[in-house]
Amino acid sequence: MIKTALVGYGWWGQHMARLLRDSRFFELSGIYAPELAGESEIDGIPIYSSMQALLNDGETAAVILTSPNLLHEEQAVAAAEAGKHVFCEKPLSLTAASAGRIVATCANAGRVLAVGHERRFEPAMQRVAELVRSQSLGTIMHAEAAFSHDKLATLDQENWRAKKATAPAAGMTGMGIHLTDFFIWMFGPVKTVQALTADRTLGWETGDLVTVQLQFEAGMTATLSAILNTPHFIRYHVFGSDKWVEVRNDTHPDTPGGEAHLCLSESGREMQFEHYPWTDTVSDNLNSFAKAITGEAPYPFSDFELRHNIEVLEAIIQSADTGETVRL
């Protein structure tokens, strides 16, 4: 069992704690979270008095960060320098330079760096990636993606998730970052970005919707949207010269149930439909992290993908702020 400490104990931190308690790979050794100050334990799990106390724990081999976005770099770098493997909740950071420092520090320390992009482990999305890579769709022309929900809509305007400094570009850091991860995974480097944000209903400083247009070095284009105040909705559509494929997904990683529905279309043929039930993709991601730590298998995200996703995020933030197209 890999002794693992958890940093942060909000909504997602509590979900990660439940998964770690049930894990066959990890042992939850302790928690550090400012909101638990003064407590000695919670549900039988020790509470660290400080981040430094966690880092000084020689028996803890890995750290999982579910802290606010602006803390990721400082905490990830400190953990790697202390010899801990790092699993960081998305986004890895908010600037390309910061993400680069995290990636480089983990690499130089020989520590595994993993990121909470559990959506990439969904069977339906792996099927789409397989169709793209096998060239079954023909030449890729364009992709469209949308990921929206209202899980955070009741948060107070003073919550860090509603602030531009800590969660910029509306739904990008919570939902849209998964979509850019998909794009980079399947289509490679992004060349240009143009983004718009707006605040329609929530009164949040960061806004409650974002829409983005991207062009890739490979020549194709893509659009994405993320809305923070509408019922749960996920759609991912890839248009090829020979076929197109679409996934509509009513599942959420923390809630068992629902399905992802895949449709594959080719001129002159009946549409093909495939259905994929909910799977625990957060645990799948954690298990991949564990296998990378033990040397059983490499972690299935490249350093380039981790850095470039944040480079794209930073470009989206800049474009939304200036109204200009940003070239990467």
> What is the domain partition of the chain in residue ranges?
2-115, 119-279+298-327
Q: Give the pLDDT confidence score for residue 37 in this predicted structure.
A: 84
Tell me the per-residue pLDDT of 188-232, one tens digit each, with 9 for 90 and over. Answer: 999 999 999 999 999 999 999 999 999 999 999 999 999 999 999
Lowest mean pLDDT among 87-96, 150-159, 175-184, 309-318: 150-159
Tell me the per-residue pLDDT of 12-26, one tens digit each, with 9 for 90 and over. Answer: 999 999 999 999 999
Confidence of residue 43 (pLDDT cuts 50, 70, 90): confident
Distance CA 276, CA 146 (A): 19
> Any idea how long the chain is?
328
Tell me the per-residue pLDDT of 240-260, one tens digit each, with 9 for 90 and over. Answer: 999 999 999 999 998 999 999
Lowest mean pLDDT among 41-45, 183-187, 225-229: 41-45
Confidence of residue 39 (pLDDT cuts 50, 70, 90): confident
The residue type of 142 is H
Instruction: Report CA Rg, the chain.
Output: 20
Distance CA 94, CA 317 (A): 9
Distance CA 117, CA 177 (A): 8
* 26 phi/psi in degrees, rounded to 5: -115, 150
3-state secondary structure of 320: helix
**How large is the average pLDDT for residues 70-78?**
98
DSSP string over 237-272: EEEESSEEEEEEE--BTTB---EEEEEEEETTSPPE
Tell me the per-residue pLDDT of 100-133, one tens digit each, with 9 for 90 and over. Answer: 999 999 999 999 999 999 999 999 999 999 999 9
DSSP string over 164-229: TTTS-TGGGTTTHHHHHHHHHHHH--EEEEEEEEE-SSS--TT-SEEEEEEEETTS-EEEEEEESS
Q: Give the pLDDT confidence score for residue 25 in this predicted structure.
A: 97
**How large is the average pLDDT for residues 275-281?**
97
Q: Across all residues in the chain, what is the average pLDDT? A: 97
**pLDDT at residue 305 tops 90:** yes
Q: Which CATH number fits domain 2-115: 3.30.990.10, 3.40.605.10, 3.40.50.720, 3.10.450.50?
A: 3.40.50.720
Confidence of residue 239 (pLDDT cuts 50, 70, 90): very high
Question: How distant is the alpha carbon of residue 163 from its chain centre?
Answer: 19
**pLDDT at residue 180 tops 90:** yes
Confidence of residue 38 (pLDDT cuts 50, 70, 90): confident
Q: Give the pLDDT confidence score for residue 13 in this predicted structure.
A: 95
Lowest mean pLDDT among 28-42, 141-155, 186-200: 28-42
- The pair of three-digit structure tokens given for residue 236, joined into one six-digit string: 């991912």
Confidence of residue 35 (pLDDT cuts 50, 70, 90): confident
Q: Give the pLDDT confidence score for residue 133 in this predicted structure.
A: 97
Q: Give the pLDDT confidence score for residue 282 in this predicted structure.
A: 98
Question: 119-279+298-327, superfamily in CATH?
Answer: Dihydrodipicolinate Reductase; domain 2 (3.30.360.10)
Percent of the chain at pLDDT above 90? 96
Q: Is 91 exposed, middle or buried (CB count within 10 Å of its CB: 0-12, 13-18, 19+)?
A: buried
Percent of the chain at pLDDT above 70? 100
**What angle do helix axes 96-109 and 72-81 make, rounded to 10 degrees?**
10
* 175 phi/psi in degrees, rounded to 5: -125, -50
**pLDDT at residue 146 tops 90:** yes
